[in-house]
Chain A
Amino acid sequence: MTFKKAFAAAMVVATASVGASFAQAGDKLRIATEGAWAPFNFIDASGKPRGFDVDIANALCEKMQAECTIVTQDWDGLIPGLKVKKFDAIVASMSITEDRLKQVDFTDPYYTGGLRYVAAKGSKFDTSRAALKGKVIGAQRATVAGQYLEDNLDGVVDIKLYDNNDAVYLDLKAGRLDGALSDELPTYEWLKSDTAKGFEYKGPAFAKDDKIGIAVRKGDELRQRMNKALQEILADGTYDVINAQYFPFSIY
């Protein structure tokens, strides 16, 4: 039976290639981050994920005495990936929102952010709803900034949604966007760089009660362990040391 044999062979190879490793959930944790959200998480020239989120994740793992691997995953695949157990936690500067809480659980916040517009220096860019009318505004897809635009300014501004924040900056610089909406702190980092010459914050930061947490699967006891570890690094000063490496002010 030519077909049956060939088919059987195909199944063997296909199964082998899937490499179904039957992982046991123990003290080995896989933590996902995005890698395109400097200075919180980014990939350096040696290909390693680095940044505030990565340092916090490693500090927590040390307290929990867990062996952690940090993996990177495109932003819009993070929550779907967590749900299908591609990884155990997301430490990627993710805001705690009601929409997300329907999908995943969050730890206590580990820092607080806010939204802020950025546009070319000297450009007429007023952040009131009326003044924004007709402007082309960029933001990252599936972020608080992107959804703020969709929820509040749909039909008022021309919304462009990007796969990552680096792409937003590229298009801001290329002049395709009149302005961008993003989290205040990553923009703070970008504005310090050479490529950001000629750009500045526009208007004050808003939505400042933006609590950033670590996402875990619903009902996972990892949440309690992480909360406990978070309290520990806050108490023993580890957090402050990490904070100081990235920002001259406290972001907690």
Chain B
Amino acid sequence: MDYSVIAQYFPKLLEGVGTTVELVLVSGLIGTLLAIPLGIARHEKNIWIRALPYAYIFFFRGTPLLVQIFLVYYGMAQFEAVRESALWPYLREPYWCAIIAFSLNTAAYSAEILRGALDSIPKGEVEAAQVLGMRKPLIYRRIKLPRAFAVMLPAYGNEIILMLKGSALASTITLLDLTGMARTIIARTYTPIEIFLSAGVIYLLLSVVIIWVFRIVEKRLNPQQSVKIA
């Protein structure tokens, strides 16, 4: 192990952390916004409402993220129509391609988590709301979604960590995230073990931070549960 290499290039690695965190936050946000309607559609009984989201979720959960990134980045750019569309200024940027692929991917996983949470809400609560004269949208807003969010929190935290790990693939489309930075440094120093291990430790710390944040949020959202256990 050559520790001087680590010391020398650590600041460079930290530069990559910024990009990694940004990728996770932005695509996490977009992914969640997409997941809400998708999850609700999957929860509904009407087959016509369920079918399309099902196909979407099936595709994104059934194929590797790496394939999805390449399809968005290299695949789309192959078509004249895409290159001449109004979206091209975004699609030509690797940053936005990564955001698109990550958002679509995490939306599919989060939607399934949301569906599971919605399914787990006791029927009685929904019936009570119906008796009170609440309509469907209001029931979702007031009863089902808040309950579901609290239930899905631990699973959602795991999903964010999985996305943090998935974000390493951004390096394959020229982005200089933590992994991309590590690979570029290794291209100079030829010390893969030292640099990859350092990057690994940084990822580990980032996931510890995510776990920690979710624990705090969970305590706030589900205070009644912690009281019950105590």
| A contacting B, Cβ–Cβ less than 8 Å | yes
B74: chain A residues within 8 A (beta carbon)? 167, 170-171, 174
Determine whether the beta carbon of B174 is less than 8 Å from that of A76: no
What is the CB-to-nearest-CB distance from B186 to chain A, in angstroms, rounded to a whole number? 7
A37 to B210, CA, bound (A): 42
Question: Which of B74, B83, B174 has the most chain A CB atoms closer than 10 A to its own CB?
Answer: B174
A99 to B184, CA, bound (A): 14
CB contact list, A132-168 vs B, under 8 A? 138, 141-142, 146-147, 160-163, 167
Q: Does A198 contact B (CB under 8 A)?
A: no
Determine whether the beta carbon of A83 is less than 8 Å from that of B92: no
Binds A, one of B147-155, B157-165, B187-195: B187-195
Q: Does B172 contact A (CB under 8 A)?
A: yes
Q: Does B183 contact A (CB under 8 A)?
A: yes
Q: Does A203 contact B (CB under 8 A)?
A: no
Q: Tell whether A141 pairs with B77 under 8 Å between CB atoms, given A103-B190, A160-B174, A176-B92.
A: no
B190: chain A residues within 8 A (beta carbon)? 79-80, 83, 103
Question: Which of A141, A162, A171, A176 has the most chain B CB atoms closer than 10 A to its own CB?
Answer: A176
What is the CB-to-nearest-CB distance from B8 to chain A, in angstroms, rounded to a whole number? 15
A103 to B189, CA, bound (A): 9
Interface string of A170-188 (1 = CB under 8 A from B): 1100111000000000000
What is the CB-to-nearest-CB distance from A115 to chain B, in angstroms, rounded to a whole number? 17
Q: Does B225 contact A (CB under 8 A)?
A: no
What is the CB-to-nearest-CB distance from A217 to chain B, in angstroms, rounded to a whole number? 12
A167: chain B residues within 8 A (beta carbon)? 74
A197 to B129, CA, bound (A): 66
B224: chain A residues within 8 A (beta carbon)? none
Determine whether the beta carbon of B186 is less than 8 Å from that of A175: no
Determine whether the beta carbon of B184 is less than 8 Å from that of A176: no
Determine whether the beta carbon of B188 is less than 8 Å from that of A171: no
Determine whether the beta carbon of A161 is less than 8 Å from that of B184: yes
A146 to B74, CA, bound (A): 20
Determine whether the beta carbon of B78 is less than 8 Å from that of A174: yes
A146 to B185, CA, bound (A): 12
Question: Which of B77, B92, B186, B190 has the most chain A CB atoms closer than 10 A to its own CB?
Answer: B190
Minimum CB distance partner of B196 in chain A: A80
Determine whether the beta carbon of A141 is less than 8 Å from that of B83: no
Which residue of B77, B183, B188 is within 8 Å of A99 (Cβ)?
Answer: B188
Which residue of A77, A80, A170, A175 is within 8 Å of B92 (Cβ)?
Answer: A175
Minimum CB distance partner of A168 in chain B: B174
Interface string of B63-103 (1 = CB under 8 A from A): 00000000000100110000100000000101000000000
Determine whether the beta carbon of B187 is less than 8 Å from that of A76: yes
Which residue of B78, B94, B187, B192 is within 8 Å of A141 (Cβ)?
Answer: B187
Determine whether the beta carbon of B187 is less than 8 Å from that of A171: no
Determine whether the beta carbon of B174 is less than 8 Å from that of A174: no
A142 to B183, CA, bound (A): 9
CB contact list, A68-107 vs B, under 8 A? 76-77, 79-80, 83, 99, 103
CB contact list, B107-161 vs A, under 8 A? none
Determine whether the beta carbon of A176 is less than 8 Å from that of B183: no
What is the CB-to-nearest-CB distance from A98 to chain B, in angstroms, rounded to a whole number? 12
Minimum CB distance partner of A163 in chain B: B172
Q: Tell whether A141 pairs with B183 under 8 Å between CB atoms, given A170-B77, A174-B83.
A: yes
A176 to B94, CA, bound (A): 9
B83: chain A residues within 8 A (beta carbon)? 174-175
A83: chain B residues within 8 A (beta carbon)? 190
Determine whether the beta carbon of B186 is less than 8 Å from that of A176: no
A176: chain B residues within 8 A (beta carbon)? 77, 92, 94
Interface string of B171-203 (1 = CB under 8 A from A): 010100000000110111010100000000000
A51 to B83, CA, bound (A): 33
Given A76-B186, A103-B190, A146-B187, 19 more A-B residue pairs with CB atoms under 8 Å apart are A76-B183, A77-B192, A80-B186, A80-B190, A80-B192, A138-B174, A141-B183, A141-B184, A141-B187, A147-B187, A161-B174, A161-B184, A163-B172, A170-B77, A174-B74, A174-B78, A174-B92, A175-B77, A175-B92
Give residues in A with beta carbon < 8 Å to B: 76-77, 79-80, 83, 99, 103, 138, 141-142, 146-147, 160-163, 167, 170-171, 174-176
Give residues in B with beta carbon < 8 Å to A: 74, 77-78, 83, 92, 94, 172, 174, 183-184, 186-188, 190, 192
Task: Provide 7 A-B residue pairs closer than 8 Å at the C-beta atoms, listed in order of the A residue.
Answer: A79-B190, A160-B174, A163-B172, A170-B77, A174-B83, A174-B92, A176-B92
